[in-house]
A and B are shown apart, each in its own frame.
Chain A
Amino acid sequence: RKEVEQDPGPFNVPEGATVAFNCTYSNSASQSFFWYRQDCRKEPKLLMSVYSSGNEDGRFTAQLNRASQYISLLIRDSKLSDSATYLCVVYKSGNTPLVFGKGTRLSVIA
């Protein structure tokens, strides 16, 4: 099993739709979790950190399920500008670097 797994997509959704991505991780000792957004040929940018209690930022909601070892990202009322690749990032423990998933591509269509 890969350390961090994501469905590569693409997810093609109409404007205004609600879409959700999941990301599974293999190490139950993982401690920190993040969602990044990457536009084509640009650097990834932090979208949100994922806390045990879940967190919400406007139209975006992130949740952590430790029992099933996955994190999720929910996007409500999708905009054309949400079209991007969403990267799941997991920190295990100690001084090991963050581990990136390969990303899920989202296309929001007018």
Chain B
Amino acid sequence: DGGITQSPKYLFRKEGQNVTLSCEQNLNHDAMYWYRQDPGQGLRLIYYSQIVNDFQKGDIAEGYSVSREKKESFPLTVTSAQKNPTAFYLCASSIRPNEKLFFGSGTQLSVL
């Protein structure tokens, strides 16, 4: 079945550690996105990519990094510079920027 796979489902980070969240899609979508959601809050855009080897910062990119070396994959690294990383992270993809989004099941990141 086609879809978006995020892993892991739960992730724990120690102080000063970088961690990477995986996002893979087999929908052949050009555009991919990373969102952060805090409890009781809406989705905030971290980074997005509309084509391989290109990506743009969203509203809250500081402390995060991404790469888009393959169409299917858009990993997100939460660096030690992100001082408040505890949140629910959602990856999404779409055929084009103006089309509906398909979401992965999310990764809950917590700080030890």
- In the complex the two chains form, is B108's CB within 8 Å of A95's CB? no
- In the complex the two chains form, is B88's CB within 8 Å of A41's CB? yes
- In the complex the two chains form, is B42's CB within 8 Å of A43's CB? no
Which residue from chain B places its CB closest to the CB of A6 in the assembled complex?
B42
- In the complex the two chains form, is B97's CB within 8 Å of A97's CB? yes
Q: Is A49 located at the chain interface by the 8 A CB criterion?
A: yes
CA gap between A96 and B98 in the complex, in Å: 8
Secondary structure of the A contact surface, majority rule: loop
CB contact list, B90-112 vs A, under 8 A: 90, 94, 97-106, 108
**8 Å CB contact of B104 from A43, A46, A95, A98:** A43
- In the complex the two chains form, is A44's CB within 8 Å of B58's CB? no
Q: Which residues of B contact A95 (CB under 8 A)?
A: 50, 97
Q: Which residues of A contact B48 (CB under 8 A)?
A: 97
CA gap between A101 and B42 in the complex, in Å: 7
Per-residue B-contact encoding for A14-55, CB less than 8 Å = 1, 0 else: 000000000000000001101010000111111001000000
Q: Which residues of B contact A100 (CB under 8 A)?
A: 35, 42-43
CA gap between A71 and B78 in the complex, in Å: 35
Q: Is A102 located at the chain interface by the 8 A CB criterion?
A: yes
- In the complex the two chains form, is A103's CB within 8 Å of B42's CB? yes
Q: Which residues of A contact B98 (CB under 8 A)?
A: 31-32, 91, 98
Q: Which residues of B contact A (CB under 8 A)?
A: 31, 33, 35, 41-43, 45, 48, 50, 58, 88, 90, 94, 97-106, 108
